[in-house]
């Protein structure tokens, strides 16, 4: 099958009948729902750009399964070049949409399962990897969008999954049959869930032997019986029902359109099960996924930064202060932070490594550093965007007032900028900055792909602190330094004795 | 009687190593004694190569075109030829892989 276009992707969603709820209502037509449409447009961009020769190099890849050209969001990374192109794709899509384009979770889930099932089959004699490759071939050939579903509700965080009061605090296997498994529970904060074709489920944490039923990975079509979706609220979300101008980014919205997915006695046939009780591998699949996903944030959020930096410069210019030294300084600060994060994303790709499965993984230490920087720097560059944009971003009247002729004149006077700039454009740009810097995008940068504490745990675990101690001990003359001895041509003890003698002679001689 | 194979040992840059590369190489050399000779000289014509890289990235493995005679056995931090290995088994596993590649 050829790569889907953006419109073909939207068409493909129409035939899926999902059980979706939003604000107490059952939503019968997902693609017709104005609250969902901007998120669907954003996902459609990941399809549309794959068809444009200008972006094909980044947006597509050659499948290692079939040799066919596939959308990069369905590809298993086969080289360092693939890892680099992946983050370039993230930045590109951030630039084109100004928001989360939803598909990287599924991409990272596919890669994490590929890597981990290979190791499981090799060590345990299971056949998950072959099953997964069959599923992947299906995804690639149909050009499907997968929603990666990892985070469980988790209940009391001090208790392991098997010790929770409610078994549904973590998605789990209720029953095993000859034909498959039956699962129940939920997954929370799932990006792109209502406009995907497949849900790809992963465990959310490392598991012990008692938690074996919670060590489960599988894929189901989004419209599988027993699966329902509760779409999440976001800051100022219903503005898109009031006016395009007021919503800030009416084409593509903000963050990814998350949902809670409820699984009630859902049957999954064995050919779609990729882990069922192998608790020793839950930690590996989570860690592999998290590494991939954290590396992405140095791509996508930098793409968003490109947009908000451009918006900040535009607003300053529209108000006649574009060349003011403090504005230039602030914009430069924003650019510097964004490019720092971009450097991190490139570094964790270039420092990636081949896994036994043949797929390439990013450098996990650098990926965690990337995401930790994002949790801080997104807030900082958005703070500067607010600083440059001024208080108007939180006091603008609505589009409905602007359309009243008797109010329009005075509002034009209040909000006009320098000569030659259309006041409507000023409104549009200020609303865009409000959308990007005030709303749900900030905590998404904090908690998406794991909270800062999770990154710090990984960084500490991989820090090689003993090596750093040894370096310090060598310089501080606590450990022998063989190179110093070669340079001075003496054992260190003799050298320092000579130095001490020379000093004594100078002082007393 | 055929001569013992000559193994060229090369090190990565060691920018952020998980292991002591020099110590690891020194542990491999005696395990090859009598069956293989080793050299650190890049100008000598060798029969096979041992890469001693500090981390999984293994930049020597990415070298293109490769400057090394095949086969190449690669220590990649706590891995040998991509398979995870305990630190205490690194030298033994690498030596075994070198010997097997010569059979």
Tell me the domain boundaries of chain B.
5-102
- Indicate yes or no: CB of B57 within 8 angstroms of CB of A353: yes
Please list every residue in chain A whose beta carbon sits closer than 8 Å to the beta carbon of residue B58. 353
Query: Is the pLDDT confidence value at A464 over 50?
Result: yes
Nearest-angstrom CA–CA distance, B29 and B7: 10
- CA angle, A222 as apex, A133 and A169 as ends, to 5°? 95
**Predicted confidence (pLDDT) at residue A344 exceeds the cutoff of 60:** yes
As a whole number of angstroms, the distance between CA B19 and CA B54 comes to 6
Tens digit of each residue's pLDDT (9 = 90 or more) over A60-89: 999 999 999 999 999 999 999 999 999 999
* Mean pLDDT comparison of A235-239, A380-384, A404-408, B59-63, highest-scoring range: A380-384
The shortest C-alpha distance from B15 to chain A (Å) reads: 11
How confident is the model at residue A509, as a pLDDT?
A: 65
Instruction: Locate A320 and state its tokens.
Output: 């006649």
Contact: A363, B58; criterion CB under 8 Å: no
Chain A with chain B: Cβ pairs closer than 8 A:
25
- The closest CB to that of A354, out of B17, B55, B82, belongs to B82
Q: Which residue of B has its CA nearest to A122?
A: B83
The nearest CA of chain A is from the CA of B44 a distance in Å of 25
* Lookup result for tokens 């590996």: A284
Question: Which CATH number applies to B5-102?
Answer: 3.30.413
Omega prior to A197 cis, within 30 of 0: no
Return all residues near A197 (Cβ < 8 A) that are at least 6 apart. A12, A13, A16, A142, A144, A145, A146, A221, A222
**Average pLDDT of the residues in B22-51:** 94
Cα nearest neighbour of B14 on chain A: A467
pLDDT higher than 60, residue A140: yes
Are B58 and A353 inside 8 Å of each other by CB?
yes
Tokens of A216: 């489960």
d(CA A497, CA A132): 67
A165-216: per-residue pLDDT in tens?
Answer: 999 999 999 999 999 999 999 999 999 999 999 999 999 999 999 999 999 9
Residues of B in contact with A351 (CB under 8 A): 55, 57
Closest residue by Cα to residue A148 from A222, A228, A62, A68: A222
A469 touches chain B (CB under 8 A): no
State the pLDDT at residue B1: 47
Between residues 164 and 223 of chain A, which touch chain B (CB distance below 8 Å)?
A: none
Catalytic residues of A: 100, 104, 191, 258, 293, 297, 300, 444
Of A253, A230, A246, A187, nearest in space to A395 by CA? A246
Residues A136 and A357 sit within 8 Å (Cβ to Cβ): no
Q: What is the pLDDT of residue A439?
A: 85
Q: Which residues of A touch B74 (CB under 8 A)?
A: none
Chain A, window 263-302: residues with a beta carbon less than 8 angstroms from a chain B beta carbon:
none
Gap from A120 CA to chain B (nearest CA, Å): 13
Whole-model pTM: value is 0.93
Domains of chain A and CATH, by start: 15-126+235-256+281-463 (1.20.140.10), 467-508 (no CATH)
| pLDDT tens-digit map of A108-139 | 999 999 999 999 999 999 999 999 999 999 99
- Distance of residue B84 Cα from the nearest chain A Cα, in angstroms: 9
Chain A partners of B82 at a C-beta cutoff of 8 Å?
Answer: 353-356
Which whole number is the average pLDDT over B6-13? 93
Model pLDDT for residues A145-174, shown as the tens digit of each residue: 999 999 999 999 999 999 999 999 999 999
* CB-neighbour burial class of residue A307 (10 A; exposed 0-12, middle 13-18, buried 19+): buried
| Predicted local distance difference test score (pLDDT) of residue A1 | 62
- Nearest-Cα residue of chain A relative to residue B57: A353
User: Where are the extended beta strands (E) located within A79-206?
Assistant: 146-149, 172-176, 180-191, 198-201
* pLDDT of A247 above 80: yes
- The rounded distance, in Å, linking the Cα atoms of A306 and A304 is 5
Q: Does B76 touch chain A (CB under 8 A)?
A: yes
The overall average pLDDT reported for chain A is 96
When pLDDT is averaged across residues A341-358 and rounded to a whole number, the result is: 96
- Average of per-residue pLDDT across B5-27: 92
Percent of chain A with pLDDT over 90: 96
Average pLDDT of the residues in A330-341: 98
Proportion of chain A above pLDDT 70, given as a percent: 100
């Amino acid at each position: 099958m050829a790569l889907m276009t953006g419109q073909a992707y939207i068409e493909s969603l129409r035939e899926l009948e999902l059980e979706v709820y939003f604000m107490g209502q059952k939503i019968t037509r997902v693609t017709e729902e104005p609250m969902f449409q901007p998120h669907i447009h954003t996902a459609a961009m990941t399809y549309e750009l794959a068809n444009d020769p200008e972006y094909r190099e980044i947006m597509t890849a050659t499948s290692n399964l079939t040799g066919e050209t596939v959308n990069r969001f369905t590809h298993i990374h086969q080289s360092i070049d693939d890892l680099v192109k992946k983050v370039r794709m993230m930045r590109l899509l951030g630039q084109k949409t100004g928001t989360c384009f939803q598909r990287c979770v599924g991409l990272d889930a596919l890669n994490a399962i590929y890597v981990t099932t290979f190791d499981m089959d090799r060590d345990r004699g299971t056949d998950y990897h072959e099953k997964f490759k069959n599923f992947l071939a299906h995804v690639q050939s149909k050009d499907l969008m997968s929603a990666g579903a990892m985070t469980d509700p988790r209940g009391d965080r001090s208790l392991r999954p098997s010790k929770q009061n409610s078994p549904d605090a973590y998605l789990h296997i209720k029953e095993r049959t000859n034909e498959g498994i039956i699962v129940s529970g939920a997954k929370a904060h799932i990006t792109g869930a209502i406009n995907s074709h497949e849900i790809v489920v992963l465990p959310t944490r490392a598991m012990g032997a008692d938690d074996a039923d919670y060590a489960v990975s599988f894929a189901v079509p989004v419209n599988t019986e027993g699966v329902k979706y509760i779409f999440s609220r976001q800051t100022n979300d219903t503005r898109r029902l009031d006016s395009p101008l007021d919503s800030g980014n009416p084409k593509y919205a903000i963050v990814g359109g998350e949902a809670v997915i409820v699984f009630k006695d859902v049957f999954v046939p064995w050919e779609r099960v990729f882990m069922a009780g192998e608790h020793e591998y839950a930690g590996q699949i989570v860690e592999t996924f998290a590494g991939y996903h954290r590396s992405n944030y140095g791509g996508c959020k930098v793409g968003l930064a490109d947009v908000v930096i451009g918006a900040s410069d535009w607003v300053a210019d529209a108000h006649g202060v574009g060349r003011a030294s403090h504005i230039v300084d602030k914009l430069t600060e924003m650019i510097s932070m964004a490019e720092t994060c971009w450097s991190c994303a490139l570094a964790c790709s270039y420092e990636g490594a081949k896994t036994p499965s043949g797929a390439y993984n990013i450098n996990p230490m650098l990926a965690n550093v990337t995401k930790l920087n994002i949790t801080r720097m997104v807030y900082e560059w958005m703070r500067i965007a607010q600083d440059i944009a001024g208080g108007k971003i939180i006091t603008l009247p609505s589009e409905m007032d602007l359309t009243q002729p008797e109010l329009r004149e005075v509002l034009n006077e209040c909000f006009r900028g320098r000569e030659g700039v259309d006041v409507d454009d000023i409104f549009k740009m200020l609303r865009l900055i409000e959308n990007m810097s005030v709303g749900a995008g900030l905590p998404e940068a904090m908690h998406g792909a794991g909270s800062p504490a999770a990154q710090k745990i990984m960084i500490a675990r991989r820090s090689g602190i003993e090596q750093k101690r040894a370096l310090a001990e060598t310089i501080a003359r606590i450990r022998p330094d063989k190179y110093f001895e070669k340079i001075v041509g003496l054992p260190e003890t003799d050298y320092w004795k000579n130095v001490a003698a020379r000093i004594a002679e100078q002082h007393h001689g | 009687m055929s001569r013992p194979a000559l193994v060229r040992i090369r090190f990565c840059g060691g920018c952020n190593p998980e292991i002591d590369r020099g110590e690891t190489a020194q542990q491999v050399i005696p395990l090859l004694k009598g069956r293989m000779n080793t050299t650190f000289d890049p100008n000598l014509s060798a029969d096979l190569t041992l890469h001693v890289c500090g981390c999984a990235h293994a930049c020597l493995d990415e070298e293109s075109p490769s400057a090394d005679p095949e086969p190449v056995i690669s220590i990649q931090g706590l891995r040998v030829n991509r398979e995870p290995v305990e630190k205490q088994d690194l030298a033994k596993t690498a030596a075994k892989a070198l010997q097997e590649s010569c059979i």
